[in-house]
Structure 1
Amino acid sequence: MAEVKLLSFWLVCLLAIPFNLSRSLAPSSTTFLDVASSLRQARNVLSLEPTTAPFNQQEEDGEETQQRTSSIVLQLHPRASIGKPKHRQHSDYRSLTLARLARDTARVKSLVSRLDLAVNRISKTDLKPVDLKIEKQQQYKYEYGVQGIQGPVVSGTSQGSGEYFSRVGIGNPPTQLYMVIDTGSDVNWVQCSPCADCYQQADPIFEPASSSSFSPLTCDTNQCRSLDVSECHNGTCLYEVSYGDGSYTIGDLVTETVTIGSAKIDNVAIGCGHNNEGLFIGAAGLLGLGGGSLSFPSQLNATSFSYCLVDRDSDSVSTLEFESSLPPNAVTAPLLRNPQIDTFLYIGMTGLSIGGDLLPLSESLFRLDGSGNGGIIVDSGTAVTRLQTDVYNSLRDAFAKGMRDLPRAGGFALFDTCYDLSTKSSVEVPTVSFHFGEGKDLPLPAKNYMIPIDSNGTFCLAFAPTSSTLSIIGNVQQQGTRVGFDLASSVIGFVPYKC
């Protein structure tokens, strides 16, 4: 009798445990979207004041950063918080959204084109220069005596859609500059004086003559040989990186001191761009976080780095950290490399679920194959996640089925699944989750896939199809999550709500 009572006691205890504590047992089928909060941010973003970033970020990052014990930390700012002059060009949030999606489309086209070049093993000597750049190149050659530097149609990735920026010190003494952070690029560069042609940036143009650590690289160096496109002039290395949206940078490849907080890193190879054009909205250049030998993590010999992307419509600040370990509660997945192109950071993903139900899709649709096709990259510069058409259609149809009680709205730009939520303050939506094998899954917050496209209450599913075999996890889906790349162990980790 005592044994029966004891068994009954434990059954009662087990039944009292909240069922949703174990995501692997019963993933939540729905979550809530705070419509009112999203619309408030959409209405306020055009009036954000430009950010003035402190140079020593480590003093302001607090206990959370210290607990991660990273050796190098810098702040991340969303585009909206430093792009006030550009935002004044938009009369409303709908116009701003259209501009964002246009930049995003150009970037994705560039990523796909670069991959195609690598997979098809097209030599840079087989490529033709971009017609739009010929006049600018001739101007650069005339003013600097350069002979014969020509670039391919696409030799890099577009930072026209760069949405997050960091404050970095270049030179000795350091000149503080805003730089785009980009996991889809390797070459670091800044605009340099004298300028044959420089676009407008928020800070003064970098002046090499004011830096005691500025040193041009010769043509026989490993750094110069690592460039996709280079030319030799009087023994010094000239670089060019051109982008799918018509942006480009041309100049000298040099080494410089880079200062982040209290850390000084000497002899970092960067491009000193004398001829630059593109949609950089005030940033002085780019900090490449890709997997190639010229990227900033590679030059640091970093074993890991992580970032957390705050809401794109906010003026909040988060951090980019190097040598920061993944916490035990991180949702992890394999970090994969493409043998045809070392820049892109691929993730071992196995599937997607909507409303707790795994979509009936073959894992091969998410897999990187031996020829370098397929697979999914994690990209900080692409905004909207792109999925192969069959995968997207399955996700969209399952999501729409779970949203059938909400009023539909017409499509918008690259979005075909939109809803009129103008009369709602909060709505229940199906949960969208990424799956990585071994029972690991990452449920996304509703605001990371249902986003406003105007300030009147129209929301769209923030995924899009692609005819390419390459899929991309964009920054809208990464918002509010610390994304860590353990380069030594080939692992990617996600820790939600850790900005």
Structure 2
Amino acid sequence: MWLLYSLSLLLLLLLFTLTDLSYSIAINTSIDYLKLPLLHRTPFTSPSQALSFDIRRLSLLHHHHQRLSFKSPVISGASSGSGQYFVSLRLGSPPQTLLLVADTGSDLVWVKCSACKNCSNYVPGSAFLARHSSTFSPIHCFNSLCQFVPQPRPNPCNHSRLHSPCRYEYLYGDGSKTSGFFSRETTTLNTSTGREKRLKSLAFGCGFRISGPSLTGASFKGAHGVMGLGRAPISFSSQLGRRFGNKFSYCLMDYTLSPAPTSYLMIGGIQNNAVSKKRILKFTPLQVNPQAPTFYYIGIKSVSVDGVKLPINSSVWSIDELGNGGTIIDSGTTLTFITEPAYREILRAFKRQIKLPSAAELTPGFDLCVNVSGVSRPTMPRMSFELDGDSVFSPPSMNYFVETADRVKCLAIQPVNADGDFSVIGNLMQQGYLLEFDRDKSRLGFSRRGCAIP
């Protein structure tokens, strides 16, 4: 996501050895994975508005990179392109239900908190009430975890005071900010058997001050915080992952279907699922970028359109010695953004292969739009990505052509213009695929089969 904090790689590696984030999990050892509800909201009124959000998010992701030098229902509304998938998380004792943005591009778990006492002016469901939970506990400054969250200046934690709480402050590239206490709390989740289980000691940011367009604008409407699913030890997937095979997976269903289909986010390996034999995964290695350890990088070898390999220099997909370039998988961005030299060739190939007439007017922000009037089932060229590990990712055209107006479809791929910036495979391109992030084996599994199987 857009969370910006500066951690040294050495400290990041040291954190893996700490036991402070370990869970006390009161569940039977026969339970293989967890399931959490995911919902989708549609705050944007047009694809152009969604594109504007995506471009801002992309800028924040790239800025974040520079600064660094369970099984659950998912309801998709990507037709309007909000790009936000929300995890429904029950936090505290008794549990309070909160919606968090599921984000593979960030690490910290944080929620909006309220410090009200009598709560006479409190809007129910708008924030987490820490005072109303018997299990809420701030992490203190002397705790080793405190050094791994960004702290406010000029008043960072006072390590000399025994009862000084750990304060955090996250700054965003557009001036947005969340700050509060880094804390622990009990979460209530559903297991693969459908039973509720309580997990203790989730480390998260309890934000008492939230400001700025990224956190208060349309793109964040209805959210109470962010569930970071990145690769750092403080992410949600890291904290729970060690108990469940250090894996998580999700499947974002086709948003064009009606009624809205159900998809799933799972903490734990799908190979332990009873129906796993129906899901045959292909794998590609997850690359490691020391300059941006949060992100899930994959290696692209080549791109083809209708079976024709495009003349793209393989170096445009590489991560250089400074950590620039590469391609990440991001659940929080809607469209797909491709490095400019490769984008030029992809755009040229689509224009050459498409037989449909051009739209009378281009939708603002899009470079290729066609008129599909009078065509019941318009056929678009098929794009394929050859990935490292000799696997091929070949999504259907609905994953990269979206209807921006009545009977007008536009190519939902955008260029990344700045030198050194990475490419992003957004959640629209991921629709209909089961994706498994296997962190122990450092690989991404994907399949078009079995995506709808609970």
Letter aligned with residue 164 of structure 2: G
CA contact (8 A) 2:302 2:314 kept: yes
Once residues 60 and 127 of structure 2 are traced to their aligned partners in structure 1, the CA distance between those partners, rounded to angstroms, is: 27
Once residues 375 and 168 of structure 2 are traced to their aligned partners in structure 1, the CA distance between those partners, rounded to angstroms, is: 53
Identify the residue that residue 429 of structure 2 maps to in structure 1.
477
Identify the residue that residue 169 of structure 2 maps to in structure 1.
240
Letter aligned with residue 292 of structure 1: A
Q: 2:321 matched to 1:378?
A: no
SS of residue in 2 equivalent to 1:480? coil
Identify the residue that residue 335 of structure 1 maps to in structure 2.
286
Q: 2:87 matched to 1:166?
A: yes
TM-superposed CA distance for 1:313, in Å, is 6.2
The change in CA–CA distance for 1:423 and 1:414 in structure 2 (over 3 A counts) is same
Identify the residue that residue 31 of structure 1 maps to in structure 2.
none
The change in CA–CA distance for 1:409 and 1:391 in structure 2 (over 3 A counts) is farther
Identify the residue that residue 345 of structure 2 maps to in structure 1.
394
CA offsets 1:132-165 (integer angstroms, 9 cap, x no match): xxxxxxxxxxxxxxxxxxxxxxxxxxxx965101
The change in CA–CA distance for 1:170 and 1:391 in structure 2 (over 3 A counts) is same
Identify the residue that residue 324 of structure 1 maps to in structure 2.
269
User: Among residues 117, 126, 144, which one is paired with 2:67 in the alignment?
Assistant: 117
Once residues 414 and 496 of structure 1 are traced to their aligned partners in structure 2, the CA distance between those partners, rounded to angstroms, is: 30
SS of residue in 2 equivalent to 1:361? coil
CA offsets 1:255-282 (integer angstroms, 9 cap, x no match): 1112211232211111111111323111
SS of residue in 1 equivalent to 2:108? coil
TM-superposed CA distance for 1:242, in Å, is 2.3
Once residues 388 and 253 of structure 1 are traced to their aligned partners in structure 2, the CA distance between those partners, rounded to angstroms, is: 37
Identify the residue that residue 299 of structure 1 maps to in structure 2.
239
SS of residue in 1 equivalent to 2:248? strand
TM-score (norm 1): 0.71
Identify the residue that residue 270 of structure 1 maps to in structure 2.
204
Q: Which moved more, 1:472-481 or 1:356-365?
A: 356-365
Identify the residue that residue 139 of structure 2 maps to in structure 1.
217
CA offsets 1:92-118 (integer angstroms, 9 cap, x no match): xxx432321121111001001111222
TM-superposed CA distance for 1:212, in Å, is 1.4
TM-superposed CA distance for 1:247, in Å, is 3.0
Once residues 188 and 101 of structure 2 are traced to their aligned partners in structure 1, the CA distance between those partners, rounded to angstroms, is: 16
Once residues 201 and 338 of structure 1 are traced to their aligned partners in structure 2, the CA distance between those partners, rounded to angstroms, is: 43
Structure (1 or 2) with the greater helix fraction: 1
The change in CA–CA distance for 1:271 and 1:437 in structure 2 (over 3 A counts) is closer
User: Among residues 372, 392, 397, which one is paired with 1:421 in the alignment?
Assistant: 372
User: Among residues 150, 154, 157, which one is paired with 1:228 in the alignment?
Assistant: 150
TM-superposed CA distance for 1:352, in Å, is 1.1
CA contact (8 A) 1:345 1:377 kept: yes
CA contact (8 A) 2:48 2:365 kept: no
Identify the residue that residue 494 of structure 1 maps to in structure 2.
446
Once residues 369 and 151 of structure 2 are traced to their aligned partners in structure 1, the CA distance between those partners, rounded to angstroms, is: 43
Q: 2:37 matched to 1:75?
A: yes
User: Among residues 287, 294, 302, which one is paired with 2:227 in the alignment?
Assistant: 287
Once residues 138 and 124 of structure 2 are traced to their aligned partners in structure 1, the CA distance between those partners, rounded to angstroms, is: 25
Once residues 295 and 229 of structure 1 are traced to their aligned partners in structure 2, the CA distance between those partners, rounded to angstroms, is: 17
SS of residue in 1 equivalent to 2:46? helix
Once residues 200 and 51 of structure 2 are traced to their aligned partners in structure 1, the CA distance between those partners, rounded to angstroms, is: 38
CA contact (8 A) 1:386 1:465 kept: yes
Letter aligned with residue 94 of structure 2: P
Q: What runs of 5+ residues in structure 2 fail to find an aligned partner?
A: 1-30, 70-80, 191-195
Q: What runs of 5+ residues in structure 1 fail to find an aligned partner?
A: 1-68, 81-85, 88-94, 120-159
TM-superposed CA distance for 1:378, in Å, is 0.3
Letter aligned with residue 281 of structure 2: A
Once residues 301 and 405 of structure 1 are traced to their aligned partners in structure 2, the CA distance between those partners, rounded to angstroms, is: 47
Q: 2:152 matched to 1:207?
A: no
TM-superposed CA distance for 1:183, in Å, is 0.5
Letter aligned with residue 251 of structure 1: G
SS of residue in 1 equivalent to 2:332? coil
The change in CA–CA distance for 1:301 and 1:407 in structure 2 (over 3 A counts) is closer
CA contact (8 A) 2:241 2:267 kept: no
TM-superposed CA distance for 1:204, in Å, is 3.9
CA offsets 1:144-199 (integer angstroms, 9 cap, x no match): xxxxxxxxxxxxxxxx9651011111112211111110001111111111279xxx
Once residues 173 and 189 of structure 2 are traced to their aligned partners in structure 1, the CA distance between those partners, rounded to angstroms, is: 30
CA contact (8 A) 1:310 1:317 kept: yes
TM-superposed CA distance for 1:486, in Å, is 0.5
TM-superposed CA distance for 1:293, in Å, is 1.7
CA contact (8 A) 1:410 1:416 kept: no
CA contact (8 A) 1:162 1:381 kept: yes
User: Among residues 283, 295, 302, which one is paired with 1:351 in the alignment?
Assistant: 302
CA offsets 1:47-95 (integer angstroms, 9 cap, x no match): xxxxxxxxxxxxxxxxxxxxxx841111222223xxxxx56xxxxxxx4
Once residues 111 and 268 of structure 2 are traced to their aligned partners in structure 1, the CA distance between those partners, rounded to angstroms, is: 24
> How many corresponding residue pairs?
375
TM-score (norm 2): 0.77
